[in-house]
Structures are given as C-alpha cells and as structure tokens.
C-alpha cells in the first residue's frame, strides 16, 4: 500500500523535489508552504504525471500557532500521515548584532519551534498507529557554529540533536526519525538568506533533486542522519573535529564573508 507524506516547504527547492520523488513512487502527498499558487502548480503537475492525490494546505508555518493550525487542517482532511517531512526553513546572513532580532526569532520559530511541534503532534499519532517515518531537514551547518549566520547554524544544530534523541526514544515503537544534513544545494535558499557573494555559494552546489533523493532514501532505510555530499561528510567527520575551535570558527567565518 502506498504511503502518504506531509511535506512542509514544498513550494520550492528541496521540499518540492521531495514531493516530486515521493509522488513518482506512487504516494499521495500533502504539500504546504505560504505560496499557494506554487503549490497548486505542483499539485497539477504531480496528479497528471503520477495519478496520485495531492492535497494543498497554504499556510504560514512560522506564524504563532502555525504548526497547530497545520495539524488541525490535516486532521480535517481525514488523511493519516505516514511520513512527516519537516523541510521548511530559512537562513539569514549578517553579524548577529546588526541583524533585525525579529528575523532571527522568526527563523527560530520556523526552523525549530514548528518542527518540534509537528514532531510532537504527528509523532503521537504515529506511535498510536504503530508506525511512521519522520524526516527532518537539517544541514551540515549542524556540525559547527556559524559566525555571520549564527542563529541559522544553531537552529540546525538543534534539529540534528533533537532528531537523533527522538529517534532513540522511539526505537521499538515503529517510528523512525532521520535528519538530512545537506551541504550547499542550489535553491532559493541563498537568495532568501542573502548569501550572494559569499564563498559558501561560490562552490558547485548539489541539485535539489539529488539532495532530496538522498534524504528520502535514508528516511525509508530508517537511518539516523545522512549527508548528501561525500567529501564534505569526510571533512566533517574526520578533519573538522580535530581542528582547534578558533581555527574552525575563523574558517567558517571566511566562507561567509562578502
């Protein structure tokens, strides 16, 4: 029987690629983001190409109570979610004290608070139903502090830490939790985060499709974490942990300077 996925941030980038991949495997999908027109276009595309049912829920997940609203909207459809994919998120460049505090607090609300809330709400349902899968889109940023994107990197450290702890707690209850930790992926992310002109995005990024496939397949396999970029995974696992902390901070800062 095909599974039903709920995918946040499905109007562009990795989320849209995840929706396309899931639908190509024959699964129905609930897609959400703020831009309803982009979601409607994706619905038409996927329903025509794969004969699946796509349910659109346009919503600001970063608004106060956004996650609860999404949960209620999903419940109202009567659809049972088998896979929860928490992908919506954004970053923001600049020295912390020069940034608008509201932007950083909104980032924490979307990247952390909404993700935690949805894991709680749908996680309980999954345990009650005897199974389910959660994919949380984190980042390689989870592995280090990120001067000039301090809040963003910290939100992703939270996501990876939280996801792994939850995976352990849910072991034996039929629910798996996977954190996808992508390196740079060419999407709308860099423009939204104001990263144009940094070394970070001068490198050749992965495609959204490639990153989505790596994350989705890892979720199906029930892996704890996965990095889509092998050389970066080696660097993060075998080189960076042995670097002096100040040197590491300086290196990350240089990557993000304009």
Ligand X SMILES: NC(=O)c1ccc[n+]([C@@H]2O[C@H](COP(=O)([O-])OP(=O)(O)OC[C@H]3O[C@@H](n4cnc5c(N)ncnc54)[C@H](OP(=O)(O)O)[C@@H]3O)[C@@H](O)[C@H]2O)c1
Is 152 annotated as catalytic? yes
Q: Are 126 and 141 in contact (CB under 8 A)?
A: no
Cα 34 to Cα 39, 151, 159, 247: the distances in Å are 9, 22, 22, 39
**Mind giving me the DSSP string for 182-207?**
---B-SSHHHHTT-TTSGGGTSPPBP
Chain contacts with ligand X (rule: CB under 6 A): 9-15, 33-35, 60-62, 87-90, 110, 137, 139, 182, 184-185, 187-189, 192, 208
Cα 204 to Cα 27, 143, 183: the distances in Å are 31, 20, 10
Residue 238 C-beta: closest distance to ligand X, Å: 20
Residue 132 C-beta: closest distance to ligand X, Å: 20
Residue 135 C-beta: closest distance to ligand X, Å: 11
CB atoms within 10 A of CB 95: 10
Our CB check for ligand X shows the closer of 146 and 182 to be 182
Our CB check for ligand X shows the closer of 176 and 187 to be 187
Active-site choice (21, 83, 152, 184): 152
Residue 86 C-beta: closest distance to ligand X, Å: 8
Our CB check for ligand X shows the closer of 188 and 196 to be 188
Q: Which residues contact 11 (CB under 8 A, 6 or more apart)?
A: 31, 33, 34, 35, 38, 39, 42
Our CB check for ligand X shows the closer of 166 and 227 to be 227
Catalytically annotated residues: 152
């Amino acid at each position: 029987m095909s599974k039903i996925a709920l995918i946040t941030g499905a109007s562009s980038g990795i989320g849209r690629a995840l929706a396309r991949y899931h639908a190509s495997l024959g699964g129905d999908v609930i897609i959400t983001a703020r831009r309803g027109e982009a979601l409607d276009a994706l619905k038409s595309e996927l329903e025509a190409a794969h004969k699946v049912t796509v349910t659109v829920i346009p919503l600001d997940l970063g608004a106060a109570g956004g996650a609860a609203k999404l949960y209620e909207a999903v419940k109202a459809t009567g659809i049972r979610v088998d896979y929860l994919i928490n992908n919506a998120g954004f970053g923001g460049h600049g020295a912390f004290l020069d940034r608008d505090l509201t932007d950083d607090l909104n980032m924490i609300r979307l990247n952390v608070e909404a993700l935690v809330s949805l894991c709680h709400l749908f996680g309980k349902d999954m345990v009650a139903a005897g199974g389910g899968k959660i994919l949380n889109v984190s980042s390689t940023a989870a592995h280090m502090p990120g001067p000039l994107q301090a809040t963003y990197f910290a939100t992703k450290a939270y996501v990876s830490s939280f996801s792994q702890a939850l995976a352990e707690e849910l072991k034996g209850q039929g629910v798996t939790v996977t954190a996808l930790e992508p390196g740079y992926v060419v999407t709308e992310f860099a423009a939204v985060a104001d990263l144009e002109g940094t070394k970070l995005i001068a490198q050749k990024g992965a495609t959204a499709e490639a990153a989505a496939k790596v994350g989705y397949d890892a979720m199906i396999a029930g892996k704890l974490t996965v990095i889509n970029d092998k050389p970066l995974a080696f660097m993060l696992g075998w080189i960076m942990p042995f670097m002096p902390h100040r040197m590491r901070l300086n290196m990350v800062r240089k990557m993000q300077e304009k």
